Every structure is written in structure tokens, then in C-alpha cells.
Amino acid sequence: MQGIYTAIVTAFKEDGSVDEAGTRAVIRHSTDHCRADGIFVGGTMGERFKMTTKEVKDLLRIAADEASGKADLAANITALADEEILELAEEAHRLGYTAAALVPPVFHGYSQEEIVNHYLYIADHIPLPLLVYVIPSFSKVDFTEEMLVRLLEHPNIIGLKYTHNDYYLLDRVRVRCPEASIFTGFDDVLLHALLMGTDGAIGGTFNLTGAFAKKLYEAVKAGDYALALRYQRKINDVEDMLNETGLFPTIKAALACMEVPCGQLKRPSGPVTEAQIEQGKRICEYLKRNGG
């Protein structure tokens, strides 16, 4: 696995069910316009943690069909119960996904040993390769270097989705595990992460800035770091605008402005506001002016 993966938003209908037509439009925008190397389905940006297992399985099916022959596919298989994790992994494998990602178990406050054993158990029992989803801001789990290295020694744990700002830890793991597939989950430091040896990125803002990210990635591969920096700054300009009015709803507002209908956020999140709609229009104009 390598390259730029869009962590797609999920389109929802007014009743909160998955909007298949809208979700297909989101995927087409990433594959056809942004030239994404891969699609990450059911992630944080996709609001997976508001969805039932059945809804996630429907989403996996829609994405597999729409992205077929265009992009690689990876699935977030996180759930509270092991049985549901295994069920999602089996479905992703049946549909042709390349890999799965898994957030550490949360809520009950597990020990480091329990967390490691959880990943090892899942890796032993699923039919596709696993990425450890490192996201301490949401999971409240702080992986140590030794935990990550131990996990990456398992033959079915192939890498990390690293949504964390500790790049010293990332460097130490990369040095000790040179064969691991490591993806940054922070779009605003994509250039920095690539220079530190990551294999690409799995990012939510790539729903909008994916074309910039792909050009940045290609510039790094070509050794044109000045060009890569220019694209990083374009990505960060958009991130600034998103953060002013709220990341998740403003991404949806901007996509709607680009004629990519993806509806509202799923409850309990509130509706997209007028301020977010107007900001979405400004982001659209920025992307048009800058070739995004």
C-alpha cells in the first residue's frame, strides 16, 4: 500500500440512512477528479461511529462497486464487539478490499498488554491485512514504541494509520520496522511525513484537497521539494478555512457547492449552518482558482 487515500465522507439522507447516490458521487470525485490512489471507507471522516454494522456493510459494498478498477480500497472495521469486527473484516475481504484498519478498544480503560493482545487476536482471525489505527485524540490510547513494534512483528499487521502528532515516535518505529506501510492521518503535515519515510496519507480533507495531495506526493517522488511545499501550503490554506467554521460540516458544505451532494452530518450532529455553507462556497472558489 502506498500513495494518497481519501478518507471519504459518507452521504446521508434526511432520515440518517446512507445515501447511495450521494456516496457514489463522493467516491467518483476522489477517483476521477482528485486521482486518489485509494479510498478509505468508514473512517472518522465517514462518521462510522454513528453507524450500525449493517450500514457500514452497505457502505463497504457501495464503495467497492463504485471504486472498482479505479482505486485501492481499505476499510475501517472498528466496532465495540470482536464479533462485529470479524464480521466487517469478512465482508471487506469478500468485496475485494486490500486492507483493514482498527482503532484500539476504548471506554473501559484497557492495559497496554490487553490492547496488544486485542490486535494480535484480530490479526489472527481476519482474512485481510491489518493497519493499526493510531488516533489518540479520539481513542485516548497512547501507543508506545514497543507496543507498535511488537504489533508490526505480526505477519498480518502490515502497518499504521498514524493520526498522531508525535513524529519522534513515528521515526523510531519507521527505523525499527522499515517494511511497514505507514500512512499519516494528518493532512497538514503530509510533506513532513513523507520526508520522514511514510508511504502516503489517509486523509479526510482530501475529499476537497486530494488533487493538491496527489501533486504533492508526485513532487516528493520526483525530488521537487519546493513544488511539494507549495502544494502543502495550498492544503493548509483550505484546512485553515475548514477549521474556522468546523471541519466536518464545512467539508460537506464545500462538496455540495462542487455539485457533489452528500447531505447533512448524521445525528446527533446538528445541521450544516449558513455560515458553513458560505465558507464552503469560499473554499470552492479557492480550489477553482488554484487548480484543486
Start-to-end C-alpha separation, the chain: 24
Rounded-to-integer distance, Cα 281 and Cα 258, Å:
9
Rounded-to-integer distance, Cα 144 and Cα 165, Å:
13
* Residue keyed to cell 477549521: 243
Strand runs labelled E in 147-233: 157-162, 181-184, 200-203
Of residues 251, 160, 258, 213, the one with CA closest to residue 36: 213
Measured CA to CA in angstroms, residue 176 lies from 32, 86, 171, 194 at distances of 37, 29, 9, 17
Does residue 215 carry a catalytic annotation? Answer: no
Tell whether 202 is in a known binding site. yes
Strand runs labelled E in the chain: 3-7, 38-41, 72-76, 99-102, 130-134, 157-162, 181-184, 200-203
Instruction: Please identify which of the residues 161, 215, 234, 266 carries the catalytic annotation.
Output: 161
**What is the phi/psi pair of residue 277, to 5°?**
-65, -45
Instruction: Please identify which of the residues 5, 97, 133, 217 carries the catalytic annotation.
Output: 133
Measured CA to CA in angstroms, residue 187 lies from 5, 31, 76, 139 at distances of 11, 18, 18, 19
Strand 181-184 and strand 157-162: pairing?
parallel
Residue 167 makes CB contacts below 8 A (sequence gap 6+) with: 189, 192, 193, 196
Length of the chain, in residues = 292
Does residue 119 carry a catalytic annotation? Answer: no
Which positions are catalytic?
133, 161
Which residue numbers belong to the known binding site?
202
Binding site for pyruvate, by residue number, is 202
